[in-house]
Amino acid sequence: MNLNYKCCTGTPESDPLGSAYLDNNATTQVDPKVVEAMLPFLTQFYGNPSSIHSFGRPVGQAIETARQQVQELIGAEFSSEVVFTSCATEATTTAILSAVEAFPERKEIVTSVVEHPATLQMCEHLQRKGYTIHWIPVDKKGRIDMDAYKAALSDRVALVTMMWANNETGTLFPIRGMAELAKAHGILFHTDAVQVAGKVPIQVANSGIDLLSLSGHKFHAPKGIGALYLRRGTKFRPLMRGGHQERGRRAGTENVSGVVALGAAAAIAAESVRTDTARISMMRDRLEQGLLARVPNAFVTGDPGNRVPNTSNVAFEYVEGESILLMLNQFGIAASSGSACTSGSLEPSHVMRAMEIPYTAAHGAIRFSLSRFTTDEMIDAVLQELPPIVAKLRTLSPYWNEAEGVPHTEEFAPVFG
């Protein structure tokens, strides 16, 4: 297979791998314009940004320009509210630990059962230390249980930490409304916006959001750079100490080339949200509808009516997602599984289990995530290759009646030798 694609600028480019990359929620291709912006800060501009001499000054100025570009992407009131970090996991960890340290009398945290491990495992860690964690459930479409959420809010809670969009299904939480409810109880509100930044408009100014995490490599910056939005006036305790960088909120010499890249990617993303969203959404819908039309016993997980425009998670019943991914890979198609392969476990993902997706479907859940570099040719490749892969795998499935092309009606009981 040798696919060609056009980037967002309409300039034809050859895919160096000759492949269809549909795993953009995992990471994205670094935009060539971002590479162009960051390269001088690996060669020509190498001074320490904290230095006052002529080598350091332009580097420090570039960091402030990047800060303003991120500010504009997320709609913050002040650029000083942007703190650069190494990644979103660091930003989220900083937000959670800062809240519990700043409000030591409050021993409760509210989060959801479908969060990214960066949040889940930090909350589990605090639970072992004696904190009460309110794990808010979701319904079968991945929508947050608002009654449970409201019931968990009190003046005993230090922090609410909720993802804005789910990384597996793309389902959006009503973050602004949830933040306002938290404010009524004087609770800090943090959101993991990793799967939202660069995909839908964000406006944190005049919202109830106090802290927000984002990651550069999710919107075409390189890996190793992220940011924490910290509303001015929010009580804060730094995670990393030992330097005055980032106004004392995150010690350590800045990853300057990464910061510049993040700023450039943010500036491009702010424009792309307006110009590319409709095209990406249409390709996502064509892929989804095409698969459902070609493959029986398949359905979309999450909330199709309220999700980010680039994500589709389709569950193919009675097959293993890992097998699908391996066979797709033979055709140069990259997607990801909503179940075991990323965790090393044979269990379906915590997100699929939280939505009560049957195991026979959760194991076959595949996430397709697009970007502005995705092309119609890539979608065509999936529509061509995936249906026969599922059909072939079902011939091997003990749950599938190959003769009649339907699931077995009787329950399969595995026998172990």
CATH number of 53's domain: 3.40.640.10
The burial class, CB within 10 Å (0-12 / 13-18 / 19+), for 33 is middle
> Which of 218, 235, 269 represents a domain boundary (last residue)?
269
> Which of 7, 8, 87, 341 is the catalytic position?
341
d(CA 63, CA 151) in angstroms, rounded, equals: 42
Rg value, the chain, Cα? 22
**Quick one: 67 and 208 in the same domain?**
yes
Q: Are residues 103 and 209 in the same domain?
A: yes
CA–CA gap between residue 223 and residue 241 (Å, rounded): 23
pLDDT of residue 13: 40
Say if 312 falls within a structural domain.
yes
Q: Which domain holds residue 168?
A: 32-269
Instruction: Based on the fold, state whether residues 340 and 384 are members of the same structural domain.
Output: yes
Same domain, 226 and 369: no
Tally of domains within the chain: 2
Within-domain flag for 125: yes
| Burial class of 319 by CB neighbour count within 10 A (0 to 12, 13 to 18, 19+) | buried
Q: Looking at the structure, do residues 91 and 172 belong to the same domain, yes or no?
A: yes
87 catalytic residue (yes or no)? no
Separation of alpha carbons 343 and 337, rounded Å = 10
What CA–CA distance (Å, rounded) separates 224 from 216?
Answer: 8
Same domain, 185 and 314: no
Domain membership flag for residue 13: no
CATH code, domain carrying 312: 3.90.1150.10
Domain check: are 259 and 305 in the same one? no
State the Cα–Cα distance between residues 104 and 97, nearest whole angstrom.
11
Residue 105 and residue 46 in one domain? yes
**Is 24 within a domain?**
no
pLDDT value of position 338? 60
The full DSSP string for 66-124 is: HHHHHHHHHT-S-GGGEEEESSHHHHHHHHHHHHHHH-TT--EEEEETT--HHHHHHHH
**Domain contains 15:** no
The angle formed by the CA atoms of residues 166, 90 and 156, to the nearest 5 degrees, is 75
Q: Is residue 291 part of a domain?
A: yes
10-residue mean pLDDT profile of the chain (417 residues): values are 39 55 97 98 94 93 98 98 98 98 97 97 98 98 98 98 97 98 97 97 96 98 98 96 94 97 98 97 98 97 98 96 95 81 65 94 95 97 97 84 72 49
Pair 210, 142 in one domain = yes
Residue 374, token pair as written in the block: 């995705």
**Could you say which of 220, 244, 269 is where a domain stops?**
269
Distances (CA, A) of 112 to 101, 124, 358: 21, 12, 20
Q: Are residues 134 and 203 in the same domain?
A: yes
Question: Which of 219, 240, 269 is the C-terminal boundary of a domain?
Answer: 269
| Residue 19 counted as domain residue | no
Same domain assignment for residues 264 and 358: no
What is the Cα–Cα distance from 2 to 221, expressed in whole angstroms?
26
In a domain, 119, yes or no: yes
Tell me the three state secondary structure of residue 246.
Answer: helix
pTM of the model: 0.91
188 shares a domain with 79: yes
